[in-house]
Amino acid sequence: MSDSTSSPLPGNTSLASMIRRVASIAMRPEMRGIATVIALKIMMVTFNFTLIALAARALDTDGFGHYSILFSAAGLLLIVGAAGQELFVIRSWNEYATTGDTGHAKGAMYLSLVLCLGVSTVVAALFYALTAEAFGANTILAVTTFLFLSAPLQVTSHLLRTAVGVPAGDGVANFLQIIPAIVYLAACLGTDTVATVSGVFTFLSAGAFAGLVTHFIMAARLILRTLPDWPRTRPKVLRREWLYRSGRLLVVNTIEATNQHIDVLLIGLLMSPTAAGAYFVTVRLANLFAAAADAINLFATRHFSRLYHGPDRRELDKLLDGIAWITLGFIGAGLLAIGAGGYFALRIIDEAYADNFPELLVLCLGTAALAIARPSGSILMLTGHETRYLATIAAAATLRVIGLIVLTPSLGVMGAVIATAISFILTAVVLRRLVTAATGFDATILRLLRPKPQPATLETQSKGASP
């Protein structure tokens, strides 16, 4: 190569060093693992986009607005119905099942099942009682069924994601849940049949049921394979400790879910179902960054705790560098994609929504900022700083609600996206500062701006880190 026959300029040396570093990061097994997760997330985003586009075209304007409001309400309440068991089952499985403690593993799984079914039953019953008159009994029955089935599906997804892999957990759950509704809406459009909101939620419920049955079968096989003495072992329950832990997780998850879904509900209340539908579409497209960040975060949290408490911090630095480069690539590509194709994506969903392209651009700035800081929240949770994270998310949710109430009546959807974008950007700044202060690590792309070691040092570290 030319590097061996001529003296490289300093700039060329720096560029070559960066290329070697990125190439070495890309070739690591963990980066190939994250590529699989990202590919799965892209497929999930595509299916969700298809569902929204079909629903917007098959339902009338008010119908799609009501669908947006009810879907957001169900998304919030199913998290409450899960009773904080998503992370609890992950911790319990890693703590007990992987060490062969069948008694405590069985007790933890039974407690999760009882709490999830109990809380989701209460939440579903209250939701039906409070909304059946406003939206119609048939529609709310379908939404309630979807909510009730999706809550335990949320928990089994987390268990199988950890114990088997992301495709078995999130992949099976999302695809089985959404495909029947897509087929229903496509059939309605193809045959000129009138689609209904209750019909959409009925088929979403059928998909959730199929996903839940599949997950139960997979979980049963996993448990018997990992803990063959499961049928003969009596469950051991640390009731007080586990209920306290579940309560804390429920509070955190509820605040996060509120921050994620409250905006559509407030816009429907402050303006109209039509405005809520327009905002719902805008948010779903802007969540392209959230989907990429979630994929990266799923992988990062799986390795961070082990490396953080391990003896070699260089490996953790390498992991965070790799995540930062991948995040930077996704943010850059995402902003370009939204800038070049966002208008046409809105037109594909419905021509009327193309007018919301400026709102989409503003909102993307906020979702991109939050995506940059996405691993920071999980790192705070994994390193024992749950209180700081909870306070930050609660303050962000409060700020967002105040902004929505103040700006939406006068500025409409643009006011809502401004309030949301500002709250996301401030949240990202605060989370980065908290993680840096608590752990000494910068988990955002800003870590790439720090001074880099010389190439010789990099080569030494690479040799030392190789198996």
Using one digit for the tens of pLDDT, what is the confidence trace for 92-118? 888 898 788 999 999 999 999 999 999
pLDDT (0 to 100) of residue 140:
97
Residue 162 has pLDDT above 90, yes or no: no
pLDDT (0 to 100) of residue 41:
77
Give me the DSSP letters along 264-333. HHHHHHHT-HHHHHHHHHHHHHHTHHHHHHHHHHHHHHHHHHHHHTSS-HHHHHHHHHHHHHHHHHHHHH
457, exposed or middle or buried, with CB in 10 Å at 0-12, 13-18, 19+?
exposed
Confidence of residue 461 (pLDDT cuts 50, 70, 90): very low
User: Count of CB atoms within 10 A of residue 3's CB?
Assistant: 10
Q: How far apart are CA 308 and CA 74, in angstroms?
A: 36
Mean pLDDT of all residues in 202-208: 97
**What does the block give as tokens for 363?**
């909102």
pLDDT (0 to 100) of residue 13:
54
Higher-confidence residue: 229 or 1? 229
* Coil, strand or helix at 234: coil
Confidence of residue 87 (pLDDT cuts 50, 70, 90): confident
**Nearest Cα residue to 198 out of 211, 209, 184, 186:** 184
Give me the DSSP letters along 362-427. HHHHHHHHHHHTHHHHHHHHHTT-HHHHHHHHHHHHHHHHHHHHHHHHHHTHHHHHHHHHHHHHHH
pLDDT (0 to 100) of residue 215:
95
**What does the block give as tokens for 237?**
């329950």
User: Count of CB atoms within 10 A of residue 264's CB?
Assistant: 26
Element (H, E) at 65: helix 61-81
Q: How far apart are CA 303 and CA 315, in angstroms?
A: 10
- Best-predicted range by mean pLDDT (5-9, 244-248, 259-263, 402-406): 402-406
Residue 144 has pLDDT above 90, yes or no: yes
Residue 269 has pLDDT above 80, yes or no: yes
pLDDT (0 to 100) of residue 457:
43
pLDDT (0 to 100) of residue 249:
85
Q: How far apart are CA 97 and CA 227, in angstroms?
A: 7
Using one digit for the tens of pLDDT, what is the confidence trace for 278-327? 899 988 888 777 676 666 666 665 566 556 655 666 777 777 777 788 78
Q: How far apart are CA 417 and CA 440, in angstroms?
A: 33
Mean pLDDT of all residues in 180-191: 96
pLDDT (0 to 100) of residue 451:
65
Residue 256 has pLDDT above 60, yes or no: yes
pLDDT (0 to 100) of residue 459:
44
**Nearest Cα residue to 359 out of 414, 426, 432:** 414
pLDDT (0 to 100) of residue 323:
78
- Best-predicted range by mean pLDDT (3-17, 97-111, 132-146): 132-146
* Coil, strand or helix at 213: helix
**Nearest Cα residue to 38 out of 167, 127, 187:** 167
Confidence of residue 177 (pLDDT cuts 50, 70, 90): very high
Residue 386 has pLDDT above 70, yes or no: yes
pLDDT (0 to 100) of residue 98:
78
pLDDT (0 to 100) of residue 16:
60
**Nearest Cα residue to 447 out of 319, 296, 321:** 321
| Phi, psi of 9, deg, nearest 5 | -70, 155
pLDDT (0 to 100) of residue 30:
54
State what percent of residues in the chain have pLDDT above 90.
43
Residue with tokens 């390795």: 303
438 residue type, one letter? A
pLDDT (0 to 100) of residue 439:
78
